[in-house]
């Protein structure tokens, strides 16, 4: 079974090879989505997470 290191490696590979902008983390599986911002989040990260929260609130 993969461990946390394997998950982090896969995450980094997808981010780099896909030239992606990671947004998150988002906690799934609850009655309503939970958006988590860490103390190290940038202003762009806050804007991205806010946009996701707005779209989910409209649905």
Give dist(CA 29, CA 39) in Å, integer: 24
Domain contains 32: yes
pLDDT per residue of the chain (59 residues) written in tens, 0 to 9: 678 888 888 878 888 888 877 776 666 666 777 787 888 888 998 998 899 889 888 87
In angstroms, how far is the first alpha carbon of the chain from the final one? 35
What is the count of structural domains for the chain?
A: 1
Domain contains 6: no
Domain contains 2: no
Domain contains 17: no
Residue 29 three-state SS: coil
Q: What is the pLDDT of residue 43?
A: 92
Domain contains 59: yes
Q: Which of 49, 59, 40 is nearest to 21 (CA)?
A: 49
């Amino acid at each position: 079974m993969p461990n946390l290191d394997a998950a982090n490696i896969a995450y980094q590979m997808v981010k780099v090879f896909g030239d992606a902008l990671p947004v998150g983390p988002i906690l799934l599986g609850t009655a309503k989505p939970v958006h988590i911002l860490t103390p190290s989040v940038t202003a762009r990260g806050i804007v991205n997470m806010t946009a996701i929260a707005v779209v989910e609130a409209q649905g």
